Structure 1
Amino acid sequence: MDAGRRRLSSPAVAVAAILLFPLFFGSQPAAAYGGMTALQKHAAFFDRDNDGIVSFSETYDGLRALGLGAGLSSLSAAFINGALSGKTRPFEEIFTKHAMTVPDALTSDELDKMLQANRKPGDYSGWVGASAEWKMLYRLAKDKDGLLHKDVVRGVYDGSLFAKLVKQRRSEENQA
Protein backbone atom coordinates (compact mmCIF):
# COMPACT_ATOMS: atom_id res chain seq x y z
CA MET A 1 0.00 0.00 0.00
CA ASP A 2 1.50 3.35 -0.99
CA ALA A 3 1.60 6.42 1.23
CA GLY A 4 -1.12 8.15 -0.81
CA ARG A 5 -3.59 5.35 -0.18
CA ARG A 6 -3.17 4.77 3.56
CA ARG A 7 -6.05 3.20 5.36
CA LEU A 8 -7.96 5.52 7.67
CA SER A 9 -7.86 3.09 10.58
CA SER A 10 -4.89 4.60 12.34
CA PRO A 11 -5.29 4.90 16.11
CA ALA A 12 -5.22 8.69 15.98
CA VAL A 13 -8.08 8.81 13.49
CA ALA A 14 -10.06 6.28 15.52
CA VAL A 15 -9.65 8.23 18.75
CA ALA A 16 -10.54 11.50 17.02
CA ALA A 17 -13.64 9.90 15.53
CA ILE A 18 -14.70 8.53 18.90
CA LEU A 19 -14.22 11.85 20.65
CA LEU A 20 -15.71 14.01 17.91
CA PHE A 21 -18.67 11.77 17.06
CA PRO A 22 -20.98 13.37 19.64
CA LEU A 23 -20.07 16.86 18.48
CA PHE A 24 -21.20 16.18 14.93
CA PHE A 25 -24.10 13.83 15.56
CA GLY A 26 -25.20 14.52 19.14
CA SER A 27 -27.86 17.02 18.11
CA GLN A 28 -29.67 14.73 15.70
CA PRO A 29 -33.29 13.95 16.56
CA ALA A 30 -33.80 10.93 18.78
CA ALA A 31 -36.32 9.44 16.34
CA ALA A 32 -33.59 9.17 13.71
CA TYR A 33 -31.77 6.69 15.98
CA GLY A 34 -34.53 4.40 17.16
CA GLY A 35 -35.45 6.57 20.13
CA MET A 36 -31.86 7.26 21.15
CA THR A 37 -29.79 10.28 20.28
CA ALA A 38 -26.46 9.67 18.65
CA LEU A 39 -24.72 10.60 21.88
CA GLN A 40 -26.79 8.01 23.76
CA LYS A 41 -25.91 5.36 21.19
CA HIS A 42 -22.28 6.42 21.38
CA ALA A 43 -22.24 5.94 25.14
CA ALA A 44 -24.29 2.74 24.95
CA PHE A 45 -21.61 1.13 22.77
CA PHE A 46 -19.11 1.53 25.59
CA ASP A 47 -21.53 0.66 28.42
CA ARG A 48 -20.87 -3.08 28.14
CA ASP A 49 -22.89 -4.11 31.21
CA ASN A 50 -25.77 -1.69 30.46
CA ASP A 51 -25.72 -0.14 33.93
CA GLY A 52 -25.72 3.46 32.70
CA ILE A 53 -22.12 4.02 33.79
CA VAL A 54 -19.15 3.70 31.46
CA SER A 55 -16.22 2.57 33.58
CA PHE A 56 -12.54 2.78 32.68
CA SER A 57 -12.46 -0.94 31.85
CA GLU A 58 -15.54 -0.64 29.62
CA THR A 59 -13.97 2.28 27.75
CA TYR A 60 -10.76 0.30 27.40
CA ASP A 61 -12.62 -2.82 26.18
CA GLY A 62 -14.65 -0.75 23.71
CA LEU A 63 -11.54 0.87 22.28
CA ARG A 64 -9.85 -2.53 22.00
CA ALA A 65 -12.94 -3.89 20.22
CA LEU A 66 -12.60 -1.02 17.75
CA GLY A 67 -9.07 -2.15 16.99
CA LEU A 68 -6.90 0.17 19.04
CA GLY A 69 -3.79 -1.24 20.67
CA ALA A 70 -3.49 -1.84 24.39
CA GLY A 71 -1.31 1.20 25.05
CA LEU A 72 -3.44 3.70 23.15
CA SER A 73 -6.62 2.16 24.57
CA SER A 74 -5.25 2.61 28.10
CA LEU A 75 -4.20 6.21 27.51
CA SER A 76 -7.44 7.07 25.76
CA ALA A 77 -9.60 5.41 28.41
CA ALA A 78 -7.69 7.28 31.12
CA PHE A 79 -8.24 10.58 29.32
CA ILE A 80 -11.89 9.93 28.48
CA ASN A 81 -12.85 8.67 31.93
CA GLY A 82 -10.61 11.13 33.77
CA ALA A 83 -11.15 14.36 31.86
CA LEU A 84 -14.64 13.87 30.48
CA SER A 85 -16.41 11.77 33.08
CA GLY A 86 -16.96 14.66 35.48
CA LYS A 87 -19.25 16.25 32.92
CA THR A 88 -21.18 13.06 32.27
CA ARG A 89 -20.99 11.17 35.56
CA PRO A 90 -24.42 10.18 36.85
CA PHE A 91 -25.90 11.71 39.97
CA GLU A 92 -24.83 8.75 42.20
CA GLU A 93 -22.37 10.99 44.06
CA ILE A 94 -25.24 13.20 45.18
CA PHE A 95 -26.78 10.31 47.07
CA THR A 96 -23.49 8.90 48.35
CA LYS A 97 -22.52 12.23 49.89
CA HIS A 98 -25.85 13.72 50.90
CA ALA A 99 -28.51 11.01 51.44
CA MET A 100 -28.10 10.38 55.15
CA THR A 101 -31.63 9.43 56.20
CA VAL A 102 -32.29 6.91 53.40
CA PRO A 103 -29.38 5.83 51.15
CA ASP A 104 -31.24 6.26 47.87
CA ALA A 105 -33.30 9.36 48.65
CA LEU A 106 -32.94 12.98 49.76
CA THR A 107 -34.97 14.81 52.36
CA SER A 108 -35.67 18.52 51.95
CA ASP A 109 -32.85 19.38 54.37
CA GLU A 110 -30.41 17.04 52.61
CA LEU A 111 -31.33 18.63 49.30
CA ASP A 112 -30.58 22.08 50.72
CA LYS A 113 -27.22 20.87 52.06
CA MET A 114 -26.38 19.29 48.70
CA LEU A 115 -27.15 22.53 46.88
CA GLN A 116 -25.05 24.52 49.31
CA ALA A 117 -22.12 22.09 49.07
CA ASN A 118 -22.09 22.27 45.28
CA ARG A 119 -22.18 26.05 44.91
CA LYS A 120 -19.41 27.62 42.90
CA PRO A 121 -18.13 30.86 44.44
CA GLY A 122 -19.55 33.93 42.75
CA ASP A 123 -21.88 31.97 40.45
CA TYR A 124 -25.07 33.55 41.72
CA SER A 125 -27.15 32.71 38.66
CA GLY A 126 -25.96 29.10 38.98
CA TRP A 127 -27.04 29.05 42.62
CA VAL A 128 -30.47 30.37 41.76
CA GLY A 129 -30.88 28.08 38.76
CA ALA A 130 -29.79 24.92 40.56
CA SER A 131 -31.90 25.76 43.59
CA ALA A 132 -34.98 26.46 41.48
CA GLU A 133 -34.59 23.26 39.44
CA TRP A 134 -33.93 20.94 42.37
CA LYS A 135 -36.61 22.46 44.59
CA MET A 136 -39.15 22.28 41.77
CA LEU A 137 -38.21 18.64 41.21
CA TYR A 138 -38.52 17.96 44.94
CA ARG A 139 -41.93 19.63 45.07
CA LEU A 140 -43.23 17.69 42.06
CA ALA A 141 -41.69 14.28 42.67
CA LYS A 142 -41.18 13.69 46.41
CA ASP A 143 -43.00 10.72 47.86
CA LYS A 144 -45.57 10.79 50.65
CA ASP A 145 -42.75 10.65 53.22
CA GLY A 146 -41.04 13.72 51.77
CA LEU A 147 -38.23 11.79 50.06
CA LEU A 148 -36.85 12.42 46.59
CA HIS A 149 -35.65 9.02 45.42
CA LYS A 150 -32.67 8.30 43.18
CA ASP A 151 -34.79 6.51 40.57
CA VAL A 152 -37.04 9.57 40.34
CA VAL A 153 -34.02 11.82 39.72
CA ARG A 154 -32.78 9.33 37.13
CA GLY A 155 -36.17 9.75 35.44
CA VAL A 156 -35.35 13.43 34.85
CA TYR A 157 -32.22 12.47 32.94
CA ASP A 158 -33.85 9.81 30.78
CA GLY A 159 -37.12 11.73 30.39
CA SER A 160 -39.35 9.05 31.89
CA LEU A 161 -40.31 11.13 34.92
CA PHE A 162 -42.21 13.70 32.88
CA ALA A 163 -44.64 11.19 31.37
CA LYS A 164 -45.05 9.55 34.77
CA LEU A 165 -45.90 12.87 36.44
CA VAL A 166 -48.41 13.79 33.73
CA LYS A 167 -50.09 10.38 34.04
CA GLN A 168 -50.17 10.69 37.84
CA ARG A 169 -51.62 14.19 37.64
CA ARG A 170 -54.34 13.11 35.19
CA SER A 171 -55.22 10.17 37.42
CA GLU A 172 -55.52 12.46 40.44
CA GLU A 173 -57.70 14.92 38.46
CA ASN A 174 -59.98 12.10 37.33
CA GLN A 175 -60.38 10.87 40.91
CA ALA A 176 -61.30 14.35 42.15
Structure 2
Amino acid sequence: MADSTPTNTAKIRERKSGFEAAKDNNETVVVAEKSYITSKRLPAVSLADVIEKPGVARANAAVSVNKPEGDLEWARKNDGYSPLQQHILFWDRDGDGMIFPWDTYIGFRELGFNFIFSILATLIININFSYPTRLAYSWFPDPWFRVYVPSIHKAKHGSDSGTYDPEGRFVPQLFENLFSKWDQDGDGALTLRELFLLMHGHRCAADPFGWFAALFEWGTTWLLIQKESKVYREDLRAIYDGSIFWKIREARKTPAGWTQGWGLGGDGFVGGTKMF
Protein backbone atom coordinates (compact mmCIF):
# COMPACT_ATOMS: atom_id res chain seq x y z
CA MET A 1 0.00 0.00 0.00
CA ALA A 2 1.37 3.41 -0.91
CA ASP A 3 2.47 5.68 1.91
CA SER A 4 0.08 8.63 1.99
CA THR A 5 2.06 10.70 4.52
CA PRO A 6 2.84 14.38 3.85
CA THR A 7 6.37 13.36 2.83
CA ASN A 8 5.04 12.38 -0.57
CA THR A 9 2.64 15.24 -1.21
CA ALA A 10 5.25 17.11 -3.22
CA LYS A 11 5.30 14.28 -5.72
CA ILE A 12 1.66 14.65 -6.61
CA ARG A 13 1.78 18.43 -6.96
CA GLU A 14 2.19 20.10 -10.29
CA ARG A 15 5.89 20.85 -10.74
CA LYS A 16 5.90 24.58 -11.21
CA SER A 17 8.64 27.02 -12.00
CA GLY A 18 9.58 29.58 -9.36
CA PHE A 19 7.63 32.32 -11.15
CA GLU A 20 4.48 30.22 -11.48
CA ALA A 21 4.66 28.92 -7.91
CA ALA A 22 5.04 32.45 -6.60
CA LYS A 23 1.53 33.16 -7.86
CA ASP A 24 0.14 30.75 -5.29
CA ASN A 25 -0.10 32.44 -1.93
CA ASN A 26 0.49 29.28 0.06
CA GLU A 27 2.98 27.59 -2.24
CA THR A 28 6.59 27.17 -1.17
CA VAL A 29 8.89 27.24 -4.18
CA VAL A 30 10.84 23.98 -4.30
CA VAL A 31 11.66 23.88 -8.03
CA ALA A 32 13.98 26.31 -9.81
CA GLU A 33 13.23 26.42 -13.53
CA LYS A 34 16.88 26.64 -14.56
CA SER A 35 18.10 23.98 -12.13
CA TYR A 36 16.89 20.66 -13.53
CA ILE A 37 17.93 18.69 -10.45
CA THR A 38 15.45 20.55 -8.24
CA SER A 39 12.56 19.11 -10.25
CA LYS A 40 13.93 15.58 -9.90
CA ARG A 41 14.62 15.64 -6.17
CA LEU A 42 11.74 17.19 -4.29
CA PRO A 43 12.01 17.82 -0.55
CA ALA A 44 9.35 16.71 1.89
CA VAL A 45 6.64 19.37 2.23
CA SER A 46 3.78 19.92 4.69
CA LEU A 47 5.69 18.07 7.40
CA ALA A 48 4.58 20.71 9.90
CA ASP A 49 1.10 19.19 9.68
CA VAL A 50 2.49 16.09 11.40
CA ILE A 51 5.82 17.02 13.01
CA GLU A 52 6.23 20.17 15.06
CA LYS A 53 9.05 22.34 13.63
CA PRO A 54 10.48 19.61 11.37
CA GLY A 55 13.47 21.74 10.43
CA VAL A 56 14.65 22.02 14.04
CA ALA A 57 17.25 19.42 15.00
CA ARG A 58 16.25 17.16 17.92
CA ALA A 59 18.80 16.63 20.67
CA ASN A 60 17.02 13.72 22.32
CA ALA A 61 15.02 11.70 19.79
CA ALA A 62 14.80 10.50 16.19
CA VAL A 63 11.35 11.47 14.92
CA SER A 64 9.44 10.78 11.71
CA VAL A 65 5.95 11.12 10.27
CA ASN A 66 5.21 7.70 11.75
CA LYS A 67 6.54 8.69 15.17
CA PRO A 68 6.27 12.49 15.41
CA GLU A 69 7.69 12.48 18.93
CA GLY A 70 10.09 9.62 18.37
CA ASP A 71 10.27 6.48 20.48
CA LEU A 72 9.32 8.03 23.83
CA GLU A 73 10.24 5.00 25.91
CA TRP A 74 13.64 4.76 24.24
CA ALA A 75 14.25 8.49 24.61
CA ARG A 76 13.43 8.37 28.32
CA LYS A 77 15.70 5.38 28.81
CA ASN A 78 18.58 7.22 27.15
CA ASP A 79 17.82 10.70 28.41
CA GLY A 80 20.81 13.00 28.05
CA TYR A 81 22.28 11.26 25.01
CA SER A 82 22.05 12.75 21.53
CA PRO A 83 20.52 10.60 18.76
CA LEU A 84 24.01 9.99 17.32
CA GLN A 85 25.23 8.83 20.72
CA GLN A 86 22.13 6.64 21.09
CA HIS A 87 22.99 5.14 17.70
CA ILE A 88 26.25 3.67 19.03
CA LEU A 89 25.34 2.87 22.66
CA PHE A 90 24.71 -0.75 21.67
CA TRP A 91 28.46 -1.21 21.28
CA ASP A 92 29.35 0.48 24.58
CA ARG A 93 28.86 -2.78 26.40
CA ASP A 94 29.89 -1.67 29.88
CA GLY A 95 28.56 1.88 29.65
CA ASP A 96 31.97 3.48 30.26
CA GLY A 97 31.67 5.84 27.28
CA MET A 98 34.35 4.02 25.28
CA ILE A 99 33.99 1.40 22.54
CA PHE A 100 36.99 -0.92 22.31
CA PRO A 101 37.63 -2.91 19.11
CA TRP A 102 36.41 -6.07 20.80
CA ASP A 103 33.21 -4.28 21.78
CA THR A 104 32.62 -3.51 18.11
CA TYR A 105 33.36 -7.09 17.09
CA ILE A 106 31.09 -8.64 19.72
CA GLY A 107 28.31 -6.19 18.88
CA PHE A 108 28.33 -7.11 15.20
CA ARG A 109 28.40 -10.80 16.07
CA GLU A 110 25.37 -10.30 18.32
CA LEU A 111 23.58 -8.66 15.40
CA GLY A 112 24.13 -11.83 13.39
CA PHE A 113 27.07 -10.93 11.17
CA ASN A 114 29.69 -13.61 10.56
CA PHE A 115 33.18 -13.29 12.00
CA ILE A 116 34.77 -12.13 8.74
CA PHE A 117 32.33 -9.24 8.33
CA SER A 118 32.56 -8.42 12.04
CA ILE A 119 36.37 -8.20 11.88
CA LEU A 120 36.13 -6.01 8.78
CA ALA A 121 33.60 -3.73 10.47
CA THR A 122 35.82 -3.47 13.54
CA LEU A 123 38.83 -2.45 11.47
CA ILE A 124 36.84 0.14 9.50
CA ILE A 125 35.12 1.67 12.52
CA ASN A 126 37.81 1.70 15.18
CA ILE A 127 40.75 2.60 12.93
CA ASN A 128 38.92 5.45 11.23
CA PHE A 129 36.77 6.85 14.04
CA SER A 130 39.00 6.44 17.08
CA TYR A 131 41.28 9.41 16.47
CA PRO A 132 38.56 11.95 15.56
CA THR A 133 36.69 11.16 18.79
CA ARG A 134 39.97 11.07 20.74
CA LEU A 135 40.71 14.68 19.76
CA ALA A 136 38.22 15.89 22.36
CA TYR A 137 40.66 14.63 24.99
CA SER A 138 44.15 14.55 23.49
CA TRP A 139 46.18 15.08 20.34
CA PHE A 140 47.80 11.68 20.89
CA PRO A 141 46.11 8.69 19.22
CA ASP A 142 44.45 6.15 21.48
CA PRO A 143 46.71 3.06 21.74
CA TRP A 144 43.62 0.85 22.07
CA PHE A 145 41.79 2.44 19.12
CA ARG A 146 38.81 3.21 21.32
CA VAL A 147 35.86 5.21 19.98
CA TYR A 148 34.64 7.79 22.50
CA VAL A 149 30.85 8.08 22.89
CA PRO A 150 30.75 11.66 24.32
CA SER A 151 32.62 13.06 21.29
CA ILE A 152 31.20 10.82 18.55
CA HIS A 153 30.00 13.94 16.71
CA LYS A 154 33.64 14.50 15.71
CA ALA A 155 33.44 11.32 13.62
CA LYS A 156 30.72 12.71 11.36
CA HIS A 157 31.94 12.46 7.76
CA GLY A 158 31.08 13.98 4.41
CA SER A 159 28.78 12.51 1.75
CA ASP A 160 26.30 11.36 4.40
CA SER A 161 22.56 12.06 4.45
CA GLY A 162 22.87 15.04 6.79
CA THR A 163 20.19 13.55 9.04
CA TYR A 164 22.55 13.97 11.97
CA ASP A 165 23.69 17.56 12.30
CA PRO A 166 27.36 18.38 13.16
CA GLU A 167 26.58 18.07 16.87
CA GLY A 168 24.82 14.70 16.57
CA ARG A 169 21.23 15.93 16.72
CA PHE A 170 18.54 14.44 14.47
CA VAL A 171 16.95 16.62 11.76
CA PRO A 172 13.42 15.34 10.89
CA GLN A 173 13.23 17.32 7.64
CA LEU A 174 16.38 15.73 6.27
CA PHE A 175 15.29 12.25 7.31
CA GLU A 176 11.96 12.64 5.52
CA ASN A 177 13.78 14.06 2.50
CA LEU A 178 15.39 10.64 2.05
CA PHE A 179 11.98 9.25 1.16
CA SER A 180 10.60 12.30 -0.61
CA LYS A 181 13.59 12.37 -2.96
CA TRP A 182 14.44 8.72 -3.40
CA ASP A 183 11.32 6.63 -2.67
CA GLN A 184 10.19 6.53 -6.27
CA ASP A 185 6.96 4.58 -5.78
CA GLY A 186 5.97 6.38 -2.58
CA ASP A 187 5.50 3.25 -0.47
CA GLY A 188 7.55 4.47 2.49
CA ALA A 189 10.48 2.18 1.75
CA LEU A 190 13.74 2.27 -0.22
CA THR A 191 14.88 -0.46 -2.60
CA LEU A 192 18.55 -1.32 -3.05
CA ARG A 193 18.59 0.62 -6.31
CA GLU A 194 17.08 3.64 -4.57
CA LEU A 195 19.72 3.40 -1.84
CA PHE A 196 22.46 3.53 -4.48
CA LEU A 197 20.79 6.55 -6.05
CA LEU A 198 20.63 8.14 -2.59
CA MET A 199 24.34 7.54 -2.01
CA HIS A 200 25.16 8.92 -5.44
CA GLY A 201 23.01 11.99 -4.84
CA HIS A 202 24.68 12.79 -1.52
CA ARG A 203 28.28 12.43 -2.70
CA CYS A 204 30.48 15.44 -2.04
CA ALA A 205 33.27 16.33 -4.45
CA ALA A 206 36.76 14.99 -3.69
CA ASP A 207 35.53 12.95 -0.72
CA PRO A 208 36.59 9.31 -1.30
CA PHE A 209 36.53 8.52 2.43
CA GLY A 210 32.96 9.81 2.72
CA TRP A 211 31.91 7.83 -0.36
CA PHE A 212 33.32 4.62 1.09
CA ALA A 213 31.91 5.30 4.57
CA ALA A 214 28.43 5.90 3.13
CA LEU A 215 28.66 2.69 1.09
CA PHE A 216 29.69 0.72 4.17
CA GLU A 217 26.97 2.24 6.36
CA TRP A 218 24.12 1.91 3.88
CA GLY A 219 25.32 -1.53 2.79
CA THR A 220 25.37 -2.72 6.40
CA THR A 221 21.91 -1.23 6.95
CA TRP A 222 20.58 -3.13 3.95
CA LEU A 223 22.12 -6.42 5.10
CA LEU A 224 20.63 -5.95 8.56
CA ILE A 225 17.06 -4.70 8.08
CA GLN A 226 15.86 -5.20 4.51
CA LYS A 227 12.42 -6.75 4.29
CA GLU A 228 10.94 -7.81 0.98
CA SER A 229 14.04 -6.27 -0.61
CA LYS A 230 13.28 -2.84 0.87
CA VAL A 231 14.39 -0.72 3.82
CA TYR A 232 11.27 0.62 5.55
CA ARG A 233 10.95 4.07 7.11
CA GLU A 234 10.36 3.00 10.71
CA ASP A 235 13.18 0.44 10.64
CA LEU A 236 15.52 3.10 9.29
CA ARG A 237 14.40 5.59 11.94
CA ALA A 238 15.20 2.93 14.57
CA ILE A 239 18.66 2.55 13.02
CA TYR A 240 19.27 6.25 13.54
CA ASP A 241 18.38 6.15 17.25
CA GLY A 242 19.96 2.71 17.71
CA SER A 243 16.89 1.10 19.27
CA ILE A 244 16.62 -1.58 16.60
CA PHE A 245 20.01 -3.07 17.47
CA TRP A 246 18.76 -4.17 20.88
CA LYS A 247 15.60 -5.53 19.29
CA ILE A 248 17.62 -7.60 16.84
CA ARG A 249 19.83 -9.05 19.57
CA GLU A 250 16.79 -10.14 21.58
CA ALA A 251 15.09 -11.59 18.49
CA ARG A 252 18.15 -13.69 17.71
CA LYS A 253 17.83 -15.37 21.11
CA THR A 254 14.41 -16.76 20.15
CA PRO A 255 13.76 -19.86 18.02
CA ALA A 256 12.40 -17.71 15.19
CA GLY A 257 15.50 -15.51 15.10
CA TRP A 258 15.71 -12.19 13.29
CA THR A 259 13.83 -12.62 10.02
CA GLN A 260 14.95 -9.44 8.23
CA GLY A 261 18.19 -8.71 6.43
CA TRP A 262 20.15 -11.20 4.38
CA GLY A 263 21.32 -13.69 6.99
CA LEU A 264 24.98 -12.84 6.49
CA GLY A 265 25.83 -14.00 9.97
CA GLY A 266 24.95 -17.67 9.92
CA ASP A 267 21.46 -17.49 11.45
CA GLY A 268 20.35 -19.80 8.68
CA PHE A 269 18.41 -17.13 6.82
CA VAL A 270 18.72 -16.26 3.15
CA GLY A 271 16.73 -13.08 2.76
CA GLY A 272 13.78 -13.47 5.12
CA THR A 273 13.54 -17.25 4.72
CA LYS A 274 15.11 -19.65 7.22
CA MET A 275 16.99 -22.21 5.14
CA PHE A 276 18.67 -24.33 7.82
Compute the TM-score of the two structures, normalised by the length of structure 1.
0.50
Higher CA-based Rg: 1
The structure richer in helix per residue is 1
Compute the TM-score of the two structures, normalised by the length of structure 2.
0.33
Instruction: Tell which has more relative contact order, 1 or 2 (C-alpha 8 A, sep 6+).
Output: 2
